[in-house]
Structures are given as C-alpha cells and as structure tokens.
Structure 1
C-alpha cells in the first residue's frame, strides 16, 4: 500500500483539518465530535444535514455551503457517523424551522440517523428524514437492506438545498427531495478495488481484464463480473438499466451525471460521458443538464458511475440555482 498519509488512526482527523484549512472561507470544522458547518450559517431557513463515512470525498463535507448542505457529519472510513456527532451537527444547522436529514440507504447510516432524530425531537427540534436509494444494481441482494444510496445523493442535496435557500418550509423541502429520490437512478462499474488505509490491501480481487458491473461505493458486490470491454460497451451496461428502471424515453429531459470513483482520470470520465449521452439520445432522451467529475468517490477505486435524474421545470431551476461549496460552485 502506498498512500499519502501519516498514521492510519490519524487519517480522518488529518483529512478534516486539511479540508477545514483549505476552505476556511466557506466552512468551519468542529472536533470532538467531528462535523462540518457552513461559515455563513443563516437563521430562518430549514437546515439540511447529511453524512457518511470518510473516503467518499467530496461527499459530504465538500457540499457544505450556500445552496446545499448546512452541515455534514463524516464518520470513520466507510463507516457511519455516530449519533452524537449527527446531533451536534443538526443543532448547529437548525435555523428555527426544523432540519432535514438526507440519509443514504445503509443500515448503519439509517440506524444512527434515526437515533439522532429521536434525541433531537426530544430537544424540540423538528427533524424529517429523506432516504436516498438510487442504485439500480441491487436486485434481491443479501448484502444490503434494499437499494443503496450512491451518486444520486448529489442532486438530492443540491436541489433540496436550493429549495431550503429560497425559503421553503420543512414539508416543502422534504417533498422536493423525495421527488428527486423518485426520479434519480445510478449504476456503477469497478475496474479495481479501493484500499482502506487501516486495512492495507484492496477490498476485493478482480482478475486481470475483469470488471465488476454494479459495484457499490464501499466495494459491495455488483450484479455480475465480466470481461473488460471497450468504454462504449461498458457504458451501455450502465445506461440500459437506468432507461428501464425509470422508463425513460419519449422526449424526457434528464440531468446526466458521470461520477469518478477516485482512481479514474477525468479524461476517461469524459469518454464515459460521451457514450452515456449517445445511449440516452438514441433512446429519445434529451440531456438537458450535465455534470462530470469525482463527486462520490470510493478512496482510490478505479471505476465510474452513471446517474440520470428525470427533470421537470422546477427541478431544473433548483439544480441551476446558485451554489457555493468547496466542491460545487455556480
């Protein structure tokens, strides 16, 4: 294992201290417990909080700022944050109109956010939860409790954040976020596994010339393994399930998001984007908005995921609304 790190047990604190120093104009990093808040925290709006294990950067800390999250809670590598940290972050994010928790569908995340929500309700803070489960790869899996939350969480946080920023109430922000969850789907592929710092070896083995179709962001098994094919063919294996699951076609408009897993060059992601866009357009789908880059990574995993979100005029306007975070700005 070769990584730019100090001691393995200092990895997460070192990441957060560096992140906070680099983006001190936008965020504030808090320790004991660890969480990140907006530097320009505003009262009088619904607070938006999310979180999950470290190793997926910029998710979630990189999406803290104007037009997106009010706070994010990083756990240990690939491990859910604890309830006390979620409670502290939610208190900080509460502007007097309640807090929305955006939670990816993993057992640890769901349980710990549920516990935190109960504690916050006891304090008089209204909390609502939106569960993100966009991964179409999961079909009767024994490894997960239903579909996993993967890169589709980015448009959920962006669009819900824009709704909160414009002044929507708690129920309205939840309704917008749940509309996105209902219309967003993701499928990924891995070419090589991630190496967790405190483990020191790849999380799974792929033979030379083999890929994992439908891999999860923690290295969970996908739908199948198969041979490495040309990029357009692999991309077709990712896009076809999205078309089927959302019944896309007939002049639907979508956001197309091509996400890198951490170890894939941006040049290759644009090759994937090219293929994905062609597959969608061949099916009669119009790509109205696009995003390409490393947004929901898996440490140094080689691979990519493709996300489609069916858009309507309001969702498109909320996606376009101003955002200023370390990872997204327009």
Structure 2
C-alpha cells in the first residue's frame, strides 16, 4: 500500500487541519469533538443543516459546508459513522434559532448515531434520510443506501434554508428531492482502506462490479468488463426503470467519480448518459460532473438523475460558496 500518510491514526485529524487551513475563508475546524462549521454563520432564525458520515468520501460532506449548503459537517474515521457527541456539539455551535435539519445517508451506523443525537438535542430538529441507491431493492432488509444524491439534497435544501424556509418546509423539501432522485454506481477496482492495507474486494482484469456501494462493498453483481456505452446503458436503464421520466421532463444529471476516475472518462460517461435520456425526450436542464461522493481511491463512477420542477431548478441555481461547489456567490 502506497499512501501519503504519517500514521493511520493521525490521518483524519491531519487532513481536517489541512482542509480548514486551505479554506479558512469559508470554514472553521472544531478539534474536540471534530466537526467543520461555517466561518460566517447565517442570519438569526435560519434553519441550520448538519450532515456527516465516515471519511473517505471527500469532498462529501465537509466540502459542502458554506453559504447555500451545510452549516456543519461531522466526519467520522474512514468509513465509520461520526458519534452523537459530534452532532450535538455541531448543532449547538451553529444554531441560529430556526431549528436543525439533519441530512443522513441510510447506513446503519449513521442512522443510529444521528437518531441518538436528535433525541438528546434540546433544539427543535428534523431528519431527512437519503436512500437514492437503486442498486438495492426497496424491500432490502436495511433499505437502500444513501449515495451521490445526498449532494443534491444538501444543495437544494441549503438554498431554501438560506432563503428563510422554516424547518417543516426544509424537511418536506428534502424528502421530496430524495424521492425524485435515483443513483447507481459501477466499479472497475476496489478501494484500499488504509487501516486494512489492501483492496476490500478483488476484481479480475476483465471484470467490473455493478451496483457497488461507496464503502468498498461488493455490488449487486460482478459482470464481464464492457465498453463505456454498454456500461452507461446498464446504469441508465436501472435509473430509468425507477424514476420513469416522461418526454419533456426536466432533470438534473450528475456523473460522479469514485476518486480514481479521470475527468476525461467522466465526461465521456456524461455524454453517453445525456444521449440516453435525450433520445427519450427527457430534457437535461442541469448537470454536474466530477468527483464529489468518492470512495477513497476506487476507480469507478455513478449516475444520479433528479426529476426537476421549477422550484428545484431555482434552488439548484441559487448562490453557493463552499470548498467543492461555488457559483453565483
């Protein structure tokens, strides 16, 4: 294993310190317990958004703290949920009197620890559970995982909160965006968790893992490696069967890299995916391409599609100023 680290135990803290220094105009790091918060908090009465999860998915979530998105993010160790005391401390540090909205990816540890924090928190709060991964059936024992669609929820609800929406409205909006969003990913390699020191699963040179998770989990099936057009067709068809976008429907198309896939390949995937839906009369109204919800050094990508209405387009276009997303601000 070749990694730029001093020690495995210090990796997260060293990285967070570097992140906070690099973006000191936008964020501040709280050392104990660890959380990243906005350097300039929103206006009094604003609903504050807090998310978090295991590290290794950067820029999710710390990279989305700032104007128009999250007010705080709680990072756990690599692929390990943050603890309730992190959420509680973050909520108390950024509270502006409008309540707290937790945005939680559907993983057992995240759900459990955010629920504990929500129950202990004396500030009014609500939770949006993101479960956009259609590689798993709706009837799966722990439900569908939250993956790249989390970014979409954080951006749009963040814009609504910035504009003064109350807690109930932000919660309802987040749930609506989640229900309008579907994602699925494919991996060409596994990732290497530093503490493990080797890939979490093995793939042959002529194999790919379809429906892979963002924690190095196996996907729903191992398939023979195919060309880009065939891979995108497979991914897009799964999303299309879930959301069933009709001709004339406006959508946001997000192509996300898992950390080791170059932009030249991600933009090829975007071209093929856009072509798939445009041929069916679907309108690609907004787009996002890049490494945003990663899995350390995994080579792979995911597609995310969100069915848009006019409000959601307006919220997506609203100003945002974070380390990883910036426009209009």
The verdict on a shared fold, with TM-score over 0.5 as the criterion, is yes
Q: Give the 3 Å change call, closer, same or farther, for CA 141–183 of structure 1 in structure 2.
A: closer
Aligned to 1:212: 209
Confirm whether residue 155 of structure 1 aligns to residue 156 of structure 2. Answer: no
CA shift at 1:224, angstroms?
1.1
Aligned to 2:85: 84
Matches of 2:160 and 2:139, distance apart in 1: 34
Count of matched residue pairs: 326
| Match 1:127 to one of 113, 125, 128 | 125
Matches of 1:243 and 1:228, distance apart in 2: 22
Measured against aligned partners, the alpha-carbon deviations of 1:239-267 in whole angstroms (never above 9, x if no partner) come to 10111101112211100000000010011
Aligned to 1:3: 3
- Unaligned segments of structure 1, at least 5 residues: none
Confirm whether residue 176 of structure 1 aligns to residue 173 of structure 2. Answer: yes
Aligned to 1:229: 226
Matches of 2:178 and 2:294, distance apart in 1: 20
8 Å CA contact retained: 2:108, 2:142: yes
Cα RMSD, aligned residues only: 1.0
Q: How does 1:130-279 map to 2 (within 5 A)?
A: 130-139=128-137, 145-279=142-276
CA shift at 1:208, angstroms?
1.3
Aligned to 1:27: 27
Measured against aligned partners, the alpha-carbon deviations of 1:273-323 in whole angstroms (never above 9, x if no partner) come to 011001111222110000000000000000000000000000000000000
Measured against aligned partners, the alpha-carbon deviations of 1:15-49 in whole angstroms (never above 9, x if no partner) come to 10110010000000111110000001123200000
8 Å CA contact retained: 1:256, 1:309: yes
CA shift at 1:141, angstroms?
8.0
TM-score normalized by structure 1? Answer: 0.97
Matches of 1:6 and 1:235, distance apart in 2: 39
- Unaligned segments of structure 2, at least 5 residues: none
TM-score normalized by structure 2? Answer: 0.97
8 Å CA contact retained: 2:54, 2:77: yes
8 Å CA contact retained: 2:232, 2:273: yes
Matches of 2:120 and 2:299, distance apart in 1: 39
| Partner-residue secondary structure (3-state), 2:197 | coil
Aligned to 2:69: 68
8 Å CA contact retained: 2:80, 2:109: yes
User: Which of 317-326 and 246-255 deviates more?
Assistant: 246-255
8 Å CA contact retained: 1:188, 1:214: yes
Matches of 2:300 and 2:311, distance apart in 1: 32
CA shift at 1:188, angstroms?
0.2
Matches of 1:23 and 1:181, distance apart in 2: 29
| Partner-residue secondary structure (3-state), 2:144 | coil
After TM superposition, the runs of 4+ consecutive aligned structure 1 residues lying more than 2 A away are 139-142
Matches of 1:149 and 1:284, distance apart in 2: 28
Aligned to 1:47: 48
Confirm whether residue 118 of structure 1 aligns to residue 116 of structure 2. Answer: no
Aligned to 1:282: 279
| Partner-residue secondary structure (3-state), 2:203 | coil
Q: How does 1:87-106 map to 2 (within 5 A)?
A: 87-106=88-107
8 Å CA contact retained: 1:49, 1:93: no
8 Å CA contact retained: 1:138, 1:222: no
8 Å CA contact retained: 1:101, 1:130: yes
